[in-house]
Amino acid sequence: MTKEKFIKRFFLFFALLSIFFLAGIVFVLFKEGISLFTRVNIIDFLFGKLWYPTHTPAEFGILPLILGSLLVTAGALVVAVPLGIGSAIYVSEIAKPGIRDVIKPLLEILAGVPSVVYGFFGMVVFAPFIQNLFNLPTGLTAFTASVILGIMALPTIASIAEDAISSVPVSFKEASFSLGATKWETIVRVIVPSAMSGISTAIILGMGRAIGETMTVLMVAGGSAIIPHTFFQPVRAMTATIAAEMGETVVGSMHYQSLFAIAIVLFMLTLTFNIIADFISQKFKKKMTGGL
């Protein structure tokens, strides 16, 4: 066997191994979770308003958990998207080389901070501040979780968006300048639209990071499985529910199966976000290449 064939088979093995592990995870999720729907109606599960899995009779409605997850994710995007894209534009197009060499590593360091550190900071420092600022019964709310998650998603959005903006051909900028456009007009009307494929992907991946986060929302969102009406209410996300309750369940019980069913819903949401990101990315690429 030649060296090239060995290397190809070596990397093929790890690629197939990744697919195998992914298939195994999906199989276990559906094997354990689907069993619940032989005893609980799937409509009642998805749209039920009460989550009391240990009561008699038990209630397995996860609508409050879904809405809680979507609320903190939407709030996180409100924080992360403007800051992330603004940071990417500044680092790529405006900052001087010395400043860029400082800011870009700092943004990447934020991505390496453990989520429990963010959660601890939110619980000990930020939540009491929000509680006093808005005179709330508790500072552990959807708003608190949204801000902390937004800071966590910021490096993902900023890094991917900066790479997309930096990859815009220099000829695009030079053509814009030659037509008399200012630097700001070039950024807004040429560079950002040209990089929109990567920017949209960055936003969707940032959304996936926010909706899939566990420890932070477990620590700072409040943990109340109720349908939220404002950002200043305690909420419980799907990830936090799985993390908080899995250790207390009896293997094979309805409660145990319901947590796997929640994981299936979370998996499908994340998969949907990734498909949307890929679709948007391909759409913008076709637009920029004239449909070729």
Whether 51 is in a domain gets the answer yes
Whether 7 is in a domain gets the answer no
Whether 156 is in a domain gets the answer yes
Tens of pLDDT, residues 224-241: 999 998 899 999 999 999
Q: What is the pLDDT of residue 74?
A: 93
Please say if the pLDDT value at position 3 is more than 80: no
Q: What is the pLDDT of residue 145?
A: 94
Q: What is the pLDDT of residue 146?
A: 94
Q: What is the pLDDT of residue 113?
A: 87
Q: What domain count does the chain have?
A: 1
Q: What is the pLDDT of residue 278?
A: 77
Q: What is the pLDDT of residue 288?
A: 60
Q: What is the pLDDT of residue 292?
A: 46
Tens of pLDDT, residues 175-199: 888 888 888 889 888 898 888 888 8
Q: What is the pLDDT of residue 51?
A: 93
Half-sphere exposure of 146 (CA within 13 A, CB side): 23
Whether 50 is in a domain gets the answer yes
Query: Which of the four pLDDT bands, split at 50, 70 and 90, describes residue 201?
Result: confident
Q: Is 34 exposed, middle or buried (0-12, 13-18, 19+ CB in 10 A)?
A: middle
Residue 60 parent element (H or E):
strand 59-60
**Cα–Cα dist 138/109, whole Å:** 31
Whether 16 is in a domain gets the answer no
For the segment 66-81, the average pLDDT, to the nearest whole number, is: 93
The answer to whether the CB of 85 falls within 8 A of the CB of 161 is yes
Q: Name beta bridge partners: 52.
A: 59
For the segment 155-161, the average pLDDT, to the nearest whole number, is: 90
Mean pLDDT over all residues of the chain? 88
Query: Which of the four pLDDT bands, split at 50, 70 and 90, describes residue 221?
Result: very high
Q: What is the pLDDT of residue 1?
A: 61
The CATH number of whichever domain residue 278 belongs to comes to: 1.10.3720.10
What's the token pair of residue 125?
């420092």
Whether 118 is in a domain gets the answer yes
- Alpha helix segments (H runs only) across 35-167: 42-47, 63-89, 97-112, 115-121, 127-134, 142-166
Nearest to 233 by CA among 162, 157, 130, 92: 130
Residue percentage of the chain with pLDDT more than 70 = 97
Whether 31 is in a domain gets the answer no
Q: Which of 71-75, 178-182, 279-283 has the lowest mean pLDDT?
A: 279-283
What's the token pair of residue 122?
């939110």
Range of the domain at 70: 39-288
